[in-house]
Amino acid sequence: MNAESSNRDISTRKGLLIIAIVVAAIALISLVRHWSQADATASGVAVIGEDGHQGVAIFTTDTCTYCAAAKQFLAEKRVPFTEFNLDQSVKARQVFGMLNGRGVPLIIVGQQRLVGFDPGLLQRVLKEQGILR
């Protein structure tokens, strides 16, 4: 192999390396944009009731006693809510994942997210959102 052939091989390898780096960079930029859009969508969630006003959603599981207590609290206060049971619905698990849910109950009141059940906090947020008087 002569020097000219060796230089062409090195140039070809450098060119392929540059192309590979550019393709990887484009793929990384695309992935970062996708993550950013998913985060923006998840953090921008809002629950709207049938009447067009702020609503309440609760993500639960079958065995969660705090979930049961939160649902009972909402029912006693006559607050309409939509339940998403993670044990019974694939769609509920998907939405929970999009919201970066980490524990149940996950209660969404309008645009407020509450993890766990604190009756005082939930009542205050419901009042602040105009759902409870």
Enter the pTM of the model: 0.64
Cα separation, 119 vs 24, in Å, equals: 50
pLDDT (tens digit, 9 = 90+) per residue, 39-88?
333 345 566 666 666 789 999 999 999 999 999 999 999 999 999 999 99
Asked if 65 and 95 sit in the same domain, the reply is: yes
Asked if 117 and 84 sit in the same domain, the reply is: yes
Domains in the chain, number: 2
pLDDT (tens digit, 9 = 90+) per residue, 24-37?
445 444 443 333 33
Query: 2 vs 120, which has greater pLDDT?
Result: 120
Residue 123 placed within a domain: yes
Asked if 118 and 63 sit in the same domain, the reply is: yes
Asked if 111 and 61 sit in the same domain, the reply is: yes
Asked if 62 and 117 sit in the same domain, the reply is: yes
Asked if 68 and 108 sit in the same domain, the reply is: yes
pLDDT above 70: percentage of residues in the chain? 59
Q: Are the C-beta atoms of 92 and 62 separated by less than 8 Å? A: no
Which residues constitute the domain of residue 3? 1-43
**Which residues, 6 or more positions from 50, have their beta carbon under 8 angstroms from its beta carbon?**
80
Residue 48 placed within a domain: no
